[in-house]
């Protein structure tokens, strides 16, 4: 059974728009919420998500930056990405990952008050598909 590479996983994730982002809350519970992966993005081990700087997710990450992303794709593939998250409010950094579809959530684009971006750097990627499972070497 051949192990999947980061390039293999990137091709799969390109067609998945929504993932679940899980954080640890201030009381030690896990909290998951759906986030847009923006689809059609070349995945290189880093994921980027836009949100409100006052959100629970941002405060969770600022307390504990260990997060998990879960993806479900076609042909019953499941991908789990454990990583470290960082919150930025830099318009320069955010502009590199902004896509027009985000305007429906953030009406003033990058000038929307309270806009923040979460970046997640993968530390471990695991996958399951039918009888096959494995870990991507990073």
Q: Per-residue pLDDT tens for 84-125?
A: 999 999 999 999 999 888 999 999 999 999 999 999 999 999
Residue 42 confidence (pLDDT): 81
What pTM, to 2 d.p., does this model score? 0.92
Quick check: 105 and 114 in contact, CB under 8 A?
A: no
Residue 46 confidence (pLDDT): 94
The first and second tokens of residue 7, run together, are 């390039």
List C-alpha distances in Å: 40 to 12, 15, 95, 110, 113: 10, 6, 17, 21, 27
- Domain 6-136 fold: Pnp Oxidase; Chain A (2.30.110)
Is pLDDT at 138 greater than 80 in this prediction?
A: yes
The arithmetic mean of pLDDT across residues 21-42, rounded, is: 90
Residue 79 confidence (pLDDT): 95
The arithmetic mean of pLDDT across residues 6-16, rounded, is: 89
Is pLDDT at 39 greater than 90 in this prediction?
A: no
């Amino acid at each position: 059974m051949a192990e999947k590479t980061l390039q293999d996983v990137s091709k799969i994730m390109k067609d998945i728009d929504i993932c679940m982002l899980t954080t640890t809350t201030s009381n030690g519970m896990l909290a998951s919420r759906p986030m847009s992966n923006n689809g059609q993005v070349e995945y290189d081990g880093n994921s980027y998500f836009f949100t409100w700087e006052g959100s629970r997710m941002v405060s969770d990450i600022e307390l504990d930056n260990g997060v998990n992303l879960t993806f479900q794709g076609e042909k019953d593939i499941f991908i789990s990405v454990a990583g470290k998250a960082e919150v930025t409010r830099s318009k320069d950094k955010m502009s590199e990952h902004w896509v027009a579809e985000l305007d429906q959530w953030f009406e003033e684009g990058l000038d929307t008050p309270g806009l923040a971006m979460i970046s997640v750097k993968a530390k471990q990627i695991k996958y399951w598909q039918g009888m096959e499972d494995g870990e991507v070497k990073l």
